[in-house]
Amino acid sequence: MKKIVLTANDDRGLAGEMSMHFGHCSHFLLAEIDADGKVVDTQVHANPYAEHHEPGQIPEFIHSLGADVVVAGGMGAKAIQWFNQLGIQVVTGARLGVAETLDAYLAGAVTGIAECDHKH
């Protein structure tokens, strides 16, 4: 079972809107994917650090969810480094809705890392 976390601006799950800024998203969608690449379960988790966080807190929270992959609109270099240390794959540049982004990731159309270009 593969666990993928996507950043969201709301608590609507797969119907939600992707967050373009990883550190300030209000929610995370955790999707469990079976060996055939099918979504078997989803859970929405509020971001406990949306208003204020120290480096590493959000990556540690996502790690505690058992995530293998995190997909976000954008992410700073420090967060990417934390995820790398935790063994969690980072994918950024997602610009679609949550369900569409997950489908695109599973199809191999959303890949790679593009760091945020603003100060963190």
Task: List per-block mean pLDDT (blocks of 10 residues) for the chain, which spans 120 residues.
Answer: 96 95 91 96 95 85 97 90 96 90 93 61
- Note the pLDDT of residue 94: 79
How many CB atoms sit inside 10 A of residue 33's CB? 19
CA-nearest of 106, 111, 115 to 78 is 115
DSSP result, 18-58: B-S-GGG-SEEEEEEE-TTS-EEEEEEEE-TTSS---TTHH
Structure confidence at residue 120 (pLDDT): 45
Q: Tell me the two tokens of residue 120.
A: 């963190």
